[in-house]
Structure 1
Amino acid sequence: MARRSIRWVVLWICYVVVENENPCSDYKNLTLSGDRNPQCPYDKNNDKCDLYIKENWFRPQDDQGNFPAMSAQCVPPSSCGSLYPIWLNGPHPSDHDGVVNITACISTHADCCEHEHTMQVMNCSIYYVYYLVHPITCPARYCFESDLPCPTSTTWTSSTSVMPSNTTDSDNASHVRCSKYKVAVTALFTLTFALVVQTPL
């Protein structure tokens, strides 16, 4: 009886921990200045690649406070400020779909989807969040449909196109989630110990 109770307690704790994971509040901002637009050409003197992105959930946001969506149709090479643009090969999810898997394609001069990988995407009503991973080749870069014009000049490098060092609400959400994990683990050990002590030998 005690073992069955312990099993149900463990399942309940796991359910609570999983439910507390919410990409719509636990993300990092991907700051866009317009150079990730499909209309922005590749500058061979200023190679840009997302090799330095730390794998995480990201919410794209441009300088005007808009939340551009990732390009969801074939983007030709030498676009989005990169030689090999990355685009979504499929429609974005609706706001009740939760986290969905969509194929992300790397466009090259040989094929519009020469390389591909599975990307997680979630609709958060007023914006999308994307789980971005390192591209398998460089210079490759994620494309977003921003209305901002292409910059005429930029001092950005691939290592600074993501700004994770600034503390934002999403960083605070990460700390909250860590605290929830600690509480859940502590509760699990406490309940398990109590049930074991009460169980007659």
Structure 2
Amino acid sequence: MTVAPEKPQEKSAEDRLARPYAFLEDVKALDPGQLAALRRNAGATLADSHGVLWMYRLLQRHAYERDFDIYFFTATLLALDKTALKAKAFADGGDLGWSLAKFTQKFSPKALERRFSVLLDSRFDSGEMSFRMPQVVKMLTTNDIPVNWPLLLQDLLFWEAPQKHVQKRWAAHFFDPTGEAAEPEANPSSETE
């Protein structure tokens, strides 16, 4: 007698963010020298980075090998955010589109729209993302705009999806931070192991 495999249950948003959250908490707990090494390597791939061999231990505890570069990339960005490193908890709030919309409420939206458009079109394999994202993070954190780090990591894991769910959601939140427009499709809820 064969037993039908159990259908995987859809993960809640909290479940999907549990792994990124735990990883980022461990990054926050790194010593100042390790955080400085991450800052020096901001935007670099793990293979191109220097002085961060110890990161493999942390990555192996939290990430699938296929995701090491994205976890590392996000860790280097978090190291740039001194407010988040000192905070007891990560900032709530929306995705990066929402954070950038908050920035435009303080400053000129026209100056940021082109940068945001280029960011949405950037890819990891071309090096564009590793150039653009550290600039955006520095701009936000310098101006006390919070970044939802666990959500950013989760979004970057799905960045290359052909449907571009993440980019569509970021754009919707950037142009309508109140959420009055129709909500685009969310991230895929299943993570393969």
TM-score range, shorter chain: under 0.3
- Judging by fraction of residues, say which structure has more helix: 2
TM-score (norm 2): 0.24
- Judging by fraction of residues, say which structure has more strand: 1
